[in-house]
Structure 1
Amino acid sequence: MSDSATVVLTKASPLVSLDKHGVTSGLIRVNLNWTPPAAVAPAPESRGLFARMRSSLRAAGAKGVDLDLGCMIKYSDGRKTVVQALGNAFGALDRFPYVALDADDRTGTRAAGENLAINLDHGAEFAKLLLFVYIYEGSGSFRGLDAVVTLTSDRGDRFQVRLDDCPAQAHACAIALIKRQKGELVVGREVRWFTPQDGPGIQDVISRAYRLGMKWTPGRK
């Protein structure tokens, strides 16, 4: 359950206006937290060779889950960029792109998770900010990871999106879209899932799905 200060964006109520909450300047921090499968207690099962084999396979599949939080940004002057760990594109807050990622949590065990900050003092320069997450390596699906994204303003306003209703084999998710709507900056829940069947190069797939027109080259971290 969330506390009373947290606005949870749901299918039934997917939009919130930052302006109406008085969140028009300063930083808004985007936190991604998830539970690594290895941290989930296994169900009791019978002993024996096959039981040990099943347990070993589960443990092998649970290792090295690496979720990456990112943000694709389109500016009012037409410029476009992305902030993400891939390619060490960690961004900056005091200069372009005015969005920054603080760290790359490769296991889900970092207490603070992954955090991305947006400098709303430059809010007028943003046309769209698409928050997304994908599996860089490890587990082939988001199922069982209990991923939650929380946006927190400098004043403590909290807006939360739970990455639920995950289909089988989903390896990426468009979380939320921040954009201008009737003069106000609004956050809209997306939770739009992508699977390998959508095509290779997940950033390119997401960019095309949202018509952001970005061009991508292969990269590693």
Structure 2
Amino acid sequence: MAITLQKSGDSHKIDLSKAGNSKQLTVHINLNWNQQSNQNAGFFSKLLGGNNAPDLDLGCMYETVNGEKGVIQPLGGNFGAKNSSPYIFLDKDDRTGAASDGENMFIYRPDTIKRVMFFALIYQGTPDFKSVDGRMLFKISNGEEIYLELNNPDKNRPFCAAAMVSNIGSEVTILKEEKYFSGHKEADDYYRFGFSWVAGSK
């Protein structure tokens, strides 16, 4: 049974020590959304065969306990790494929402992270989150599931800081953020990771 984080500020704690010395807990993050095309897309775009399906990207800004910082996302083609730092890996870029399992990211060594801000970015297909029914699910290898919906969107803001995962001692906390921004830089200014941003495409 999944635990639902209903409003911004709701959180759930995971005890890493319960995994035991022989097994490392892993965290699986899933982003999924409504696969229907944008009903407001223009007539000529449809006539020319344009793909009007919303394209959402799952990504994260992270900081490790040793001070390493980075961004993992389809934009720019940084999918992270499974077996080396930061031990965070993105499985694919689902550009149409056609993949039934959406986009997935994995934290293989939660003990090495200080904080990870998971975000959903609308790359194209719709101006904001009002029509896409965005939702995020955290599956922990100990069987716990934490679910949150992106159900309080801001108009014309395509970037949603969905959740913050932080590590304090032997506990990992998953906090529902659901804060909306105009883009990466505005979100970074708020969370103070301190990255330098340039325009990109895929």
Query: TM-score of the superposition, structure 2-length normalised?
Result: 0.86
Aligned partners of 1:32, 1:58: CA distance in 2, in Å? Answer: 30
- The answer for the alignment partner of 2:64 in structure 1 is 75
Change (3 A) 1:191 1:13: closer
* Contact 1:75–1:127 (Cα < 8 Å) also in 2: yes
Q: Pick from 212, 216, 219: which aligns with 2:193?
A: 212
Q: How does 1:1-221 map to 2 (within 5 A)?
A: 5-11=1-7, 14-19=10-15, 22=18, 25-38=24-37, 57=43, 60=46, 63-120=52-109, 123-181=110-168, 183-195=170-182, 202-221=183-202
**Greater shift in the superposed pair: 9-18 or 86-95:** 9-18
- Structure 1, unmatched stretches of 5+, are 43-53, 196-201
Amino acid at match of 1:143: K
State the identity %.
29
In our comparison, the structure showing a higher alpha carbon Rg is 1
Aligned partners of 1:184, 1:80: CA distance in 2, in Å? Answer: 20
Offset at 1:206? 1.2
Aligned partners of 2:31, 2:90: CA distance in 1, in Å? Answer: 11
Change (3 A) 1:93 1:164: same
Offset at 1:183? 5.0
Partner SS, residue 127 of structure 1: strand
Aligned partners of 2:162, 2:58: CA distance in 1, in Å? Answer: 10
Query: What RMSD, in angstroms, separates the aligned Cα atoms of the two structures?
Result: 2.7
Offset at 1:154? 2.1
Partner SS, residue 172 of structure 2: strand
Change (3 A) 1:23 1:179: farther
Query: TM-score of the superposition, structure 1-length normalised?
Result: 0.79
- The answer for the alignment partner of 1:48 in structure 2 is none
- Structure 2, unmatched stretches of 5+, are none
Offset at 1:213? 1.1
